[in-house]
């Protein structure tokens, strides 16, 4: 059996652990009669035939290693049908390299954009298995994505560290957490770290509500406030704009503020007189070793992927649903986004203990 493998899009802590799970599962199922070809730097490797043959030893000792031994890159789905600068048809090139190696299947690890291209390859006749990776936890059809809880650990630790300096100086601190379109990471790390205000893209905020929450804490004798803000947080006023109007406004504001957190910080300082500081952990949220939960999750997803390959159940994403692995057709989930439901129980429970969402 010949299997291709690639990791595409943004990296995360548990990619190696997931690949290890697949390979160990295949070696056990096929009594070692399996060849693994790793395409380097995401879809670029599949497009340009940049790969290397891997052995079981390549996957030994990488359960705890962050990043990806294959390298990764971002290849926007909307550009996949557009020829490269030399006129190369990317889709045909990927199909050709798959067939030249005589692959039985290609295992693709990645997020939403990666998944859409995986589905495209399925539609083109290739045998594909997708494993859901992203620190954003926004892939439709699975309860959890690997990389998410590892990122939650890091973002939570960052906010935890801010608590002591915020309390010492009686300041308002904003920690900007990754998440342009969805707020899963900000929500979980904000609740885990005891943030006082959590702002996520799914719940547009009002400046007045933020100020009310800060002043309420001040009246209670609490001299500091911590905000966990998703990088994609948006005000109600901006949410009401058309897409074009919002884009034009953001372009103007970018000249003054690096991100929404700095805009909110200036608003808080102006309206309360309290000094507001911004901390951006950035790509540290993608780094380091995967947490124990992700190691277990990836081992299970990888094992389930190996079983699907041996049984010929291609064209699927290996998902986690209600604590069990499940095969979900790529055709049913590709292109869909899993967002936070503003009316979900977790939001209601967070509000019940006094956390403000700016609404």
For 312-336, give the DSSP string.
T--SEEEEEETTEEEEEEHHHHTT-
Quote the pLDDT of residue 269: 94
How far is CA 237 from each of CA 75, 245, 255, rounded to the nearest angstrom?
33, 11, 19
Domain ranges of the chain: 2-147+290-333, 150-286
Quote the pLDDT of residue 273: 86
Q: What is the tens place of the pLDDT at every residue in 173-196?
A: 999 999 999 999 999 999 999 999
Domains 2-147+290-333 and 150-286 belong to one CATH topology: yes
Class of domain 150-286: alpha beta
Burial of residue 219 (number of CB atoms within 10 Å: 0-12, 13-18, 19+): exposed
Architecture of domain 2-147+290-333: 3-Layer(aba) Sandwich (3.40)
Report whether pLDDT(45) > 90. Answer: yes
Q: Phi first, then psi: what are they for 342, rounded to 5°?
A: -60, -20
Q: What is the tens place of the pLDDT at every residue in 276-285?
A: 999 999 999 9
Quote the pLDDT of residue 170: 83
Q: Are 205 and 359 in contact (CB under 8 A)?
A: yes
Report whether pLDDT(15) > 90. Answer: yes
Rg (alpha carbons) of the chain, rounded to whole number: 22
Q: Are 159 and 195 in contact (CB under 8 A)?
A: yes
Quote the pLDDT of residue 307: 97
| Buried-exposed string 314-329: b where 16+ CB fall within 10 A, e elsewhere | bbbbbbbeeeebebbe
Q: What is the tens place of the pLDDT at every residue in 83-101?
A: 999 999 999 999 999 999 9
Quote the pLDDT of residue 245: 92
Of the chain, the percentage scoring pLDDT greater than 90 comes to 91
Q: Are 24 and 301 in contact (CB under 8 A)?
A: no
Query: Residue 351 carries which DSSP code?
Result: H
Instruction: Describe the strand order of the beta sheet including 225-230 as a list of residue ranges.
Output: 197-199, 225-230, 172-177, 276-279
d(CA 290, CA 130): 20
Decide which of 163 and 297 is more confident: 297
Catalytic residue, from 136, 138, 153, 196: name it: 136
Answer yes or no: 136 catalytic: yes
Quote the pLDDT of residue 223: 86
Q: Are 287 and 153 in contact (CB under 8 A)?
A: no
């Amino acid at each position: 059996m010949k299997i291709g493998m690639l990791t595409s899009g943004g990296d995360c802590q548990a990619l190696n652990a997931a690949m290890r799970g697949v390979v160990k599962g295949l070696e056990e199922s096929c009594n070692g009669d399996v060849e693994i070809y790793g395409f380097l730097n995401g879809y670029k490797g599949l497009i340009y035939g940049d790969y290397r043959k891997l052995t079981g030893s390549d996957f030994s000792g990488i359960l705890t290693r962050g990043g990806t031994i294959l390298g990764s890159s971002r290849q926007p789905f909307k550009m996949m049908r557009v020829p490269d600068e030399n006129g190369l048809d990317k889709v045909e090139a990927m199909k050709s390299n798959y067939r030249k190696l005589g692959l039985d299947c290609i295992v693709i690890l990645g997020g939403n954009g990666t998944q859409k291209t995986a589905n495209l390859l399925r539609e083109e006749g290739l045998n594909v298995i997708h494993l859901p990776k992203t620190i954003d936890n926004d892939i439709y059809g699975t309860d959890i994505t690997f990389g998410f809880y590892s990122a939650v650990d890091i973002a939570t630790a960052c906010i935890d560290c801010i608590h002591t300096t915020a309390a010492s100086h009686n300041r308002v601190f904003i920690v900007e957490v990754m998440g342009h379109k969805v707020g899963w990471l900000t929500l979980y790390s904000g609740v885990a770290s005891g943030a006082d205000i959590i702002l996520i893209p799914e719940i547009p905020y009002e400046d007045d509500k933020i100020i009310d929450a800060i002043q309420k804490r001040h009246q209670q004798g609490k001299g500091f406030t911590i905000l966990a803000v998703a990088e994609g947080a948006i005000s109600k006023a901006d949410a009401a704009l058309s897409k074009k109007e919002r884009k034009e406004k953001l372009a103007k504001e970018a000249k003054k503020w690096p991100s929404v957190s700095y805009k909110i910080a200036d608003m808080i300082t102006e309206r309360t007189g309290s000094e507001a500081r911004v901390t951006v952990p950035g790509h540290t949220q993608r780094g380091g070793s995967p947490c124990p939960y992700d190691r277990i999750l990836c081992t299970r997803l990888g094992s389930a992927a190996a079983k699907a390959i041996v049984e010929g159940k291609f064209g699927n994403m290996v998902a986690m649903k209600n604590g069990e692995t499940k095969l979900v057709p790529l055709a049913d989930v590709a292109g869909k986004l899993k967002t936070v439901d503003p009316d979900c129980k977790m939001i209601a429970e967070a509000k019940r203990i006094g956390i403000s969402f700016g609404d």
